[in-house]
Amino acid sequence: RKDVGILAMDIYFPPTCVQQTDMCNGYLYLLQEALEAYDGASKGKYTIGLGQDCMAFCTELEDVISMSLTVVTSLLEKYQIDPKKIGRLEVGSETVIDKSKSIKTWLMQIFEEYGNTDVEGVDSTNACYGGTAALFNCVNWVESSSWDGRYGLVVCTDSAVYAEGPARPTGGAAAMAMLIGPNAPISFESKFRGTYMTHVYDFYKPNLASEYPVVDGKLSQTCYLMALDSCYKRFCSKYEKFEGKEFSIFDADYFVFHSPYNKLVQKSFARLYFNDFLRNPSSVEKDAREKLEPFSTLTGDESYQSRELEKTSQQVAKHLYDKKVQPSTLLPKQIGNMYTASIYAAFASVLHNKHSTLGGQRIVMFSYGSGLSSTMFSLKLQDGQHPFSLSNIATVLNVSEKLEARHVGFDAGLMPLVPKLEAVLPLKRVAFLPEKFIETLKLMEHRYGAKDFVTGKVTSLLSPGTFYLTKVDSMYRRHYAKK
């Protein structure tokens, strides 16, 4: 089978028409600057320090199941895919709603309606890596002898929420769907994969009564960078083995990272540059070589702790970051950490920004899930044929319109920020004040694992076609409706 990979994609993130009066509904955005002020964090910490602009979150009407119902239905409709033609459906998620029943089984409703119950696959879970595991499962299936000629479908769906504290501004939420098959415009260069997996307690969810993770933030940052180094080394050595030449960052047009917050992405790319310098100093530019030279004798551990190295490598790699990474940062900066969907939303940002020039190009992807599991892999792009073309995928993703449609209302207290915000954010109005966000999280804490409740009836914020939770009955069964 030739060029197995991604044929089509769609993303779901929140609706339009947020009104000041019913801000508790739908999916709303928290302006990072407003949250800084509310948390008493120093000005600029979330926006410049973490590099984030906005954060989406689910209210009581939406969850990972409703978001995945919405995005799968939308993908099938927009690319006119007959639900009977799906032979495997894999879901990646780390948001636990049920400890036994997979999210995939909820999605089966869509297929049962068309008489298709012959669909393999269940859920994959390991922090933010589950989506990549799901994607590999589908790609491997299409490449295998058990493939029956139908499409695979991958769904990444998560709602990232944190307890009060420094991790709270790094939440987010979204669902992505990807159709998998041969002759794809986005194909896998499967032989170059580099994986690194170990046992570590950097971020985990041991408290089954709470949606919040236990996080060792600093450790998670170091683990992420160590995993990146290891995966990159393995990726490079596989490339060298199969291609007979050395790999450096100049051999890929774009780098797409799992994006918990943008600052870590900036550090990650700088780290790849430093790796290239260590492996072969002549592969980096001369002035950069001189600046990095003092760090060449650091041990691995020292290099993760060195602030000087971090700053210097970011500075010398900046012009390449702007070219090779910046196009991937739009959605993660605007939505926040989408856990399993984060890396694929970053990839969707590249398609959105660059779809007309991607033919023949290579994109390197780095997927990280705490605990930890990580893989670096690469994709080769070609323009493709309608409806499975890069330009049609960009049209369906409809990123600008979806971002601009985030109709949000300014609170009077934020008025002085308006001109500044309009310059940097594709937002019409700001929807949600920190107080409301905290209130919503409190309600969700109460609802997590609860039964016998109905949700609010006001769905005016949801756009037509959006699925939402209506009630959880006395047997904990969840009921959804479609707007």
- Rank residues 106 and 257 by Cβ distance to ligand ACO and give the closer one: 257
229 closest CA partner among 429, 372, 424 = 372
Q: Which is nearer to ligand ACO, 139 or 167 (CB)?
A: 167
Q: Which residues bind ligand ACO (CB under 6 A)?
A: 42-45, 48-50, 128, 166-167, 170, 203, 215, 217-218, 220-221, 224, 260, 263-264, 337, 370
Going from the C-alpha of 234 to that of each of 230, 268, 376, the distances in angstroms are 6, 16, 8
Lookup: tokens for 161: 């929420």
Q: How many residues does the chain have?
A: 483
Q: Say whether 483 counts as a known binding-site residue.
A: no
Does 43 appear as a known binding residue?
A: no
Q: Which CB atom, from 21 or from 42, has the smaller least distance to ligand ACO?
A: 42
Q: Which residue is nearest to ligand ACO (CB)?
A: 49
CA nearest to 394, candidates 380, 381, 413, 375: 381
**240 flagged as catalytic:** no
Phi, psi of 92 (to 5 degrees): -110, 125
104 annotated as a binding-site residue:
no
Backbone angles phi, psi at 445, to 5 degrees: -60, -40
Tokens standing for 250? 């100049």
| Least Å from the CB of residue 201 to ligand ACO | 12
CB of 466 to ligand ACO, least distance (A): 26
**CB of 175 vs ligand ACO, minimal distance in Å:** 17
Which C-beta is closer to ligand ACO: that of 104 or that of 333?
Answer: 333
Using alpha carbons, select from 228, 258, 225 the residue that is nearest to residue 367: 258
State residue 480 phi and psi, 5-degree precision. Answer: -125, 155
**CA dist 12 → 56, 107, 336 (Å):** 11, 15, 14
Concerning whether 128 is annotated as a catalytic residue, the answer is yes
Beta strands in 59-167 (DSSP E): 86-92, 123-124, 151-160
Token pair of 174, please?
Answer: 């979204």
Distances (CA, A) of 243 to 236, 376, 381, 425: 10, 17, 18, 43
H or E segment and range at residue 318: helix 307-324
Q: Which of 128, 138, 223, 231 is catalytic?
A: 128
Active site residue 258: yes
Minimal distance, residue 406 CB to ligand ACO, in Å: 23
Instruction: Give 61 or 223: the residue with its C-beta nearer to ligand ACO.
Output: 223
Beta carbons of 17 and 48 less than 8 angstroms apart? no
CB-based contact 141:152 (threshold 8 Å): yes
Which one is catalytic: 33, 60, 94, 310? Answer: 94
Q: Which of 60, 138, 258, 352 is catalytic?
A: 258
Say how far residue 372 (Cα) sits from the centre of its chain: 17
Residue placing its CB nearer to ligand ACO in the complex, 5 or 172 = 172
Q: Which residues are annotated as a binding site for CoA?
A: 220, 263, 267
Q: Which residues are annotated as a binding site?
A: 220, 263, 267
- Residues marked as catalytic: 94, 128, 258
